[in-house]
Structure 1
Amino acid sequence: MVDENSLSAARKTKFLARKKAIELYLKGATDAVLQKKTGEKRSNIYRIITNRCLQRHSDGDIFGWRGALPHFRVTAYERQTAPVVHENGAGATGALKWLLERPQFKDLKDRFHKRILNNADSLAHPKINVQTIFRWFIDELRKAGLEDQKAWPFNSESLGYESVRLYIKKVLAEHPFLAMSKMGGPDAIAKAKASDGTRRPDFKLFDRVECDAHKLDCRMVVMVPSPHGGYEPRKIRRIWIIVIIDVRSRAVLGYHISLRRECSALDVLITIKNALSKWAPRTLTFCEDGYAEGAALPSAHSEVYLSACWNEFSVDGALANVCPRVEEPLLHIVGAKVIKPQDPTSYSSRRSKDDRPFIESFFRVLASGTMHRLSPSTGSSHEDKKGRDPEKIAAEVQFQLDYAEELLDVTIANYNATPHTGLGYRSPLAQMDFLSSKTKNRIRHADPELVKRMAGSRKVCTLLGGEYTGKRPYFNFENAKYTSEWLVQRPDLLGKKLWLQLDDETDARWATVSDSNGLIYGTVHVQPPWHRSPHTLYMRQAIRALATKRLLFLTGNRDPVQALIEYAEIHANKKLPVHPAYLQARRIMMTSTQALDEMKEPNFSVPDVMGEINRQAMPEELTKVSGASKKTKGTSPPPEPKPKSASQSAPLPKMRMAKTW
């Protein structure tokens, strides 16, 4: 087909005349009829059909109506005589092709093509370097004696550089996929294999989620106490954020900020746990009204989405995403199948970023809307710094990790409540409500107890000790000993292999014991010195490593977590980032302190049922006082009873003695 309207007026008139003449010729029109109606001779129409329209194009089809286009070259120009370059530079048209078609240069042509196409296995960069190939080609022609003969290209001013460049481009055009790999790399090949997204399957709500990790393009510091008084800024490594996003609604289900150098399977499990647990807004320090109206994660937006399960979990090929520690909880707790590139039957085996477009697009929005707008940002590339020193700026403005965590939480919550162009200007939460209203009783929910324990480490351990060794029964679990009182009463378990699992990944002081039949026996606690402060297994591993290097000294009377904090704050090198275990310790200690403060706050909103039970358990005198105070609500409280004398006080209970074993 030919777009006739794109031609100029003269070419369009000529083309339509030829087209009509070809149609009449095929119907058997005579030469007189053709000349009368179209002005074309029958012999010329025959030549156009045979020499042009029926010739094969480089795309594999015949030229067809394209061959009838006036001033359109069907065959390449072929020089018949040796090129003679004039003083003005003319006369060298087709010289390179004529040179390579000569019999004595047939071997040079093969080596020339091989050098263009087959240099991927060499030490050189696979991307084509025209200058390097041009110099090699000129040297080969010089060795053939063309320079002494003053033949082309040595009789031209630029040595035929433009002809060689265009010839290289033509050879690469004949091998498009190879050209993509050389010019664009593996990403260009993967991009070419991916579709444009118009034939994607129509997913329902929670059918598929995408998960990925993104390293934040920003430098941050933590403020540590100074031995000279006050606080000092210490830089930290760039942190990771792992996000889970629903494909159908574009809503972010949950996220986790990893403080490690690289993301681990535990970080992925914590992200999944956060997506299945209820989200709560943070207490902001940088502003008072950071959260927009209706901003939240789905678990806090509606009880329907709390612990909502999905069917497919799409990830990249990172080991942390596809290891058995992640796949097994996903299958048994969430009921989701992992879509991974390691599966040869999966479409994701082509390893293209277009296989997870929604999470990649979200990270672009997250980076451009938060970290890239801050002065300590490193940008997406080295050029984005524009002469700035992000580490120095972060220390000067004291951009702390706590501020970044608050900023990310606000940004993600506000994203869920912001109208989305891909959703008809509905927000992700509004789209989720709209879809869930159509599919009631379809959303699956995970068991909250299993979700609570899914990120805890699990290991088979042998119960050691006992009466024959003179030691209390204990387990060796993750570089520490665990024991409990009830183990002394179970000598039948000595020497057996039992499962130990942490119920809370942020507090490794307690573990649950069960057997291979699934029977739970009880809980065990860690022995000193690890029993003092909550900590993670990663923190314990880091403390053990520092103790092995004689940088820390652990004793039974010293808290290892406190020792880690003191070491990081006093002995850390200002030029090196703070240890990630120290950052975890700060986060856990802060969370533990907030939980204790909440437990200390009195709760006066006691239900009436509990009040009735308490009144039934009270002595008769206190019940009357309680009833009187309830009747006189709003008046002054009744006078306190006078204290009894020592003679009237009740006798103390009998002292209980501790058992000895």
Structure 2
Amino acid sequence: MASKKYDLFQLEEERKHWKTVNTDCLTKEVHIVYIQRKQAVDMYIDGYSLSVISNSINCSASSPIKWIEKCRKKDEYGSPYGYSGLLPYKHLDQYKRTKTVTDLAKTFAGAMTKLLHDYPELKEYVDNLFLKKDKTVLEKNITRKIIFEKFLWKCKELGIREYEYPFNTKNMGERALYIYMNELEQEMSNYSISRRNKDARQKYSSTGLGIPVNYPAQRPFSRVQIDGHKIDCILTVQVENQDGEIQMVPIKRIWLLTLIDVATRTILGYHLTVNEEYNRFDILSCIRNAVVPHEKMNFEIPGLHYPEGEGYHSMAMAELSWAVFDSIELDNAMSHHARDSVKQISEYLNAVMNFGPVSTPERRGIIERFFQSLETRGFHRIVSTTGTGISDPRREKCESEATNYCISFQHILELTEVLIAQYNVTPHSSLNNFSPLEVLRQRVERGMVPAYLEPEKQENFTLLSYTVARTVRGSIETGRRPYVQFEGAEYRSDELSSSYDLYGETVSLLINPDDLRTVTAFRNDGSEIGTLYVAGKWAYTKHSLAQRRAISQYIRKNNVLIGPLEDPITIYHDYLNSEARKHKSAGNKLAALNIERTKNRKENTPVININESKSKNNGNTHNMLSEQSLDNMIQSDLFRSLYE
């Protein structure tokens, strides 16, 4: 057997990783040539002599060695071409010009490549301008035309004469430079992607790598996703003008937060907020609504009802009440809202928080697809929709339509309730034409049972509550009894007032962000001091942490003086009532305050009403407007089809 140029054992190992060729794509002539070359290469690696190969394949004795060199040649990514290197007419090497470009040259093929090879400084200069690899290049996304001008200037600086390339061509190498930059953009994509917009950069850095980020979930409640979406419609809030008349004014679009089960596509819970930006308590409210058993809503919109199958997991399957999750996936943009609650969620629900990349909906494609379905099937069909963008004709007169039909937060809340219920009982193609609730039921019946919240936590569900540390103030010398201060207000109790040993000590306060009239205090050893009550004007009306902060900011910013018998909630409401006609942001704040006051009335929480008679008249007017506007909306084909 003749001596071999290559180590056959090494070649045999390399062959295992060579790229293959799909011969079905080849023409008859190319297929014959390729098979002949491949057979020669395989025979050589299998140990046949060159003479045997030459006689068998009818080729020269040197051809197998040449073909093996093609198989072993590396591509631009450092991988061998493998069997694809045996394809006829396949260029494995870039063309390199050897002749000098003169005025008498008829063709300039490879001239730019030769120029950049002969002048490495020029190549580095062009690369830095285009890719911005060097921090000394301050200008962003320099256009190709400007780069070409700088390229010619650099050529002159390097001493290239007028009779030399590129100056001796008609377009001075402009087109060749553009081709080079196009090739550079593909070869150096990690740098060139910086020339694209934010969405393209995000998608490039997080997708298409061929590495699965999240593996498919099978067990219900094992993985859930939560995300926020601005609803594509306008709603209104009622304000009272100087004449005492009620009018509706539009506000900014509101946020919908939803929590979806990855395994079954079931929407487990949602939360609507009129805040311009959602906060960590909105996120916790969404999670709470997914855990606490869902209660049926009494609809004000005539004809609106739940679909068959109830629509929510705890309503359809009582055994899933108080089910909790293993892992919660969030957009990293939520991190600054939710990180303060990570410990709270992990300890209270025994769940792991998983923050993904910022602004990368591809990582949460399931919930993003749900938002698209929700808009298409629901909000894009009502009269006040903003459509899919500024060019959508459906957004014309959306604010005036919202005002004419008096579309309120309650209307959107009820509509969202029904749309999500319909989604949960609608068959999905991705679920083999089963609905999310059907898949959920099937898997639970197969033994995929989720974890449940402990009974003692179910009785007193306090997911939103959190703890802060405060120092006990006061002085026996000045006669001030012990008290603590929180969010600009003093809190006292009989027990704390007589605990003089706590002067200067740090105590823990358990805060309920939905009601700041009371807090629960604890000593350093964990023993409970008791309930502390807010002193002064803040004690009149139940209010949330968000409202306390908003009102305090309003008082500081406008130097407002509030008397000891005045209710700051009422004063703030009157201020927002006057500002909402001029600023939409004030309208959103007024809507948030009205929602909170309505919730307090439903919970039979005592609320001081300064002007009861005026409020009563306003309420009757609102009811009359609501009934009239709802009748008009029901007669609209766009709105009626949502709940027929």
Residues 115 and 465 of structure 1, relative CA distance in 2, 3 Å threshold: closer
Count residues with an aligned counterpart: 580
Residues 300 and 8 of structure 1, relative CA distance in 2, 3 Å threshold: same
Aligned to 1:608: none
* Alpha-carbon contact 2:542-2:605 (below 8 Å) kept: no
For 1:450 and 1:156, how far apart are their aligned partners in 2?
85
For 1:328 and 1:54, how far apart are their aligned partners in 2?
55
TM-score by length of 1: 0.76
Which residue of 587, 595, 603 maps to 1:587?
595
For 2:138 and 2:381, how far apart are their aligned partners in 1?
38
SS of the aligned residue for 1:578 comes to: helix
Q: Does 1:329 align with 2:349?
A: no
Residues 53 and 478 of structure 1, relative CA distance in 2, 3 Å threshold: closer
For residues 144-172 of structure 1, what are the alpha-carbon distances to aligned partners after superposition, in whole Å with 9 as ceiling and x for unaligned?
576732x4444544443332222123233
Which residue of 69, 92, 100 maps to 1:82?
100
Aligned to 1:11: 30
Aligned to 1:406: 414
Residues 180 and 270 of structure 1, relative CA distance in 2, 3 Å threshold: same
RMSD between aligned residues: 3.8
For 1:508 and 1:24, how far apart are their aligned partners in 2?
84
Write the letter of the residue equivalent to 2:107: G
For 2:421 and 2:459, how far apart are their aligned partners in 1?
26
The correspondence of residues 614-633 of structure 1 with structure 2, limited to 5 A, is: none
* Alpha-carbon contact 2:217-2:262 (below 8 Å) kept: no
Q: Does 1:57 align with 2:78?
A: no
* Alpha-carbon contact 1:194-1:354 (below 8 Å) kept: no
Residues 63 and 336 of structure 1, relative CA distance in 2, 3 Å threshold: closer
* Alpha-carbon contact 1:463-1:494 (below 8 Å) kept: yes
For 1:491 and 1:453, how far apart are their aligned partners in 2?
31
Write the letter of the residue equivalent to 2:468: K
Aligned to 1:623: none
Q: Does 1:205 align with 2:220?
A: yes
* Alpha-carbon contact 2:331-2:358 (below 8 Å) kept: no
For 1:121 and 1:281, how far apart are their aligned partners in 2?
60
Deviates more, 1:453-462 or 1:587-596: 453-462
Aligned to 1:477: 486
* Alpha-carbon contact 2:299-2:414 (below 8 Å) kept: yes
Q: How far does residue 273 in structure 1 lie from its aligned partner after superposition?
A: 2.2
Aligned to 1:73: 91
SS of the aligned residue for 1:244 comes to: strand
SS of the aligned residue for 1:282 comes to: coil
* Alpha-carbon contact 2:97-2:110 (below 8 Å) kept: yes
Aligned to 2:154: 140
For 2:415 and 2:49, how far apart are their aligned partners in 1?
80
Aligned to 2:467: 458
Q: Which has the higher contact order (CA 8 A, sep 6+)?
A: 2
The correspondence of residues 277-356 of structure 1 with structure 2, limited to 5 A, is: 277-317=292-332, 318-324=334-340, 326-340=341-355, 348=356, 353-356=361-364
For residues 420-459 of structure 1, what are the alpha-carbon distances to aligned partners after superposition, in whole Å with 9 as ceiling and x for unaligned?
3333332222222222223377522144467533313533
Which residue of 139, 164, 180 maps to 2:177?
164
For 1:355 and 1:414, how far apart are their aligned partners in 2?
25
Aligned to 2:207: 191
Q: Does 1:436 align with 2:448?
A: no
* Alpha-carbon contact 2:97-2:114 (below 8 Å) kept: yes
For residues 303-323 of structure 1, what are the alpha-carbon distances to aligned partners after superposition, in whole Å with 9 as ceiling and x for unaligned?
322222222232233344443
SS of the aligned residue for 1:261 comes to: coil
5+ unaligned residues in a row in structure 2: which ranges?
1-19, 607-644
Q: How far does residue 534 in structure 1 lie from its aligned partner after superposition?
A: 1.8
Aligned to 2:637: none
Residues 307 and 55 of structure 1, relative CA distance in 2, 3 Å threshold: closer
Write the letter of the residue equivalent to 1:284: F
Residues 386 and 14 of structure 1, relative CA distance in 2, 3 Å threshold: farther
For 2:539 and 2:124, how far apart are their aligned partners in 1?
75
TM-score by length of 2: 0.78
For 1:398 and 1:349, how far apart are their aligned partners in 2?
39
SS of the aligned residue for 1:254 comes to: strand
For residues 201-234 of structure 1, what are the alpha-carbon distances to aligned partners after superposition, in whole Å with 9 as ceiling and x for unaligned?
6453322322233333444321212223432333
For residues 251-278 of structure 1, what are the alpha-carbon distances to aligned partners after superposition, in whole Å with 9 as ceiling and x for unaligned?
2222222333333222222222222223
Residues 122 and 257 of structure 1, relative CA distance in 2, 3 Å threshold: farther
Q: How far does residue 587 in structure 1 lie from its aligned partner after superposition?
A: 0.5
For 2:136 and 2:460, how far apart are their aligned partners in 1?
51
Aligned to 1:365: 373
Q: How far does residue 3 in structure 1 lie from its aligned partner after superposition?
A: 2.0
SS of the aligned residue for 1:582 comes to: helix
SS of the aligned residue for 1:323 comes to: helix
Residues 587 and 575 of structure 1, relative CA distance in 2, 3 Å threshold: closer
Residues 448 and 49 of structure 1, relative CA distance in 2, 3 Å threshold: closer
For 1:354 and 1:82, how far apart are their aligned partners in 2?
51
For 1:494 and 1:67, how far apart are their aligned partners in 2?
84
Deviates more, 1:287-296 or 1:441-450: 441-450
SS of the aligned residue for 1:253 comes to: strand
Q: Does 1:243 align with 2:255?
A: no
Which residue of 577, 596, 606 maps to 1:569?
577
Aligned to 1:116: 130
For 1:461 and 1:99, how far apart are their aligned partners in 2?
72
Q: How far does residue 536 in structure 1 lie from its aligned partner after superposition?
A: 1.0
Q: How far does residue 6 in structure 1 lie from its aligned partner after superposition?
A: 0.9
For 1:40 and 1:515, how far apart are their aligned partners in 2?
94
Q: How far does residue 464 in structure 1 lie from its aligned partner after superposition?
A: 5.3
* Alpha-carbon contact 2:36-2:57 (below 8 Å) kept: yes
For 2:530 and 2:364, how far apart are their aligned partners in 1?
43
For 2:313 and 2:260, how far apart are their aligned partners in 1?
11
Write the letter of the residue equivalent to 2:24: N
* Alpha-carbon contact 1:191-1:352 (below 8 Å) kept: no
For residues 299-351 of structure 1, what are the alpha-carbon distances to aligned partners after superposition, in whole Å with 9 as ceiling and x for unaligned?
33333222222222322333444433x122212221122233xxxxxxx5799
For 2:385 and 2:137, how far apart are their aligned partners in 1?
35
Q: How far does residue 405 in structure 1 lie from its aligned partner after superposition?
A: 2.4
For 1:11 and 1:256, how far apart are their aligned partners in 2?
63
* Alpha-carbon contact 1:220-1:394 (below 8 Å) kept: yes
Q: How far does residue 565 in structure 1 lie from its aligned partner after superposition?
A: 1.3
For 2:21 and 2:37, how far apart are their aligned partners in 1?
13
SS of the aligned residue for 2:434 comes to: coil
SS of the aligned residue for 1:501 comes to: strand
Aligned to 1:611: none
Residues 41 and 409 of structure 1, relative CA distance in 2, 3 Å threshold: same
Write the letter of the residue equivalent to 2:510: Q
Aligned to 1:500: 509
Aligned to 2:116: 100
Q: How far does residue 408 in structure 1 lie from its aligned partner after superposition?
A: 2.2
Q: How far does residue 571 in structure 1 lie from its aligned partner after superposition?
A: 4.5
Q: How far does residue 538 in structure 1 lie from its aligned partner after superposition?
A: 1.8
- % identical aligned pairs: 23
Write the letter of the residue equivalent to 1:570: S
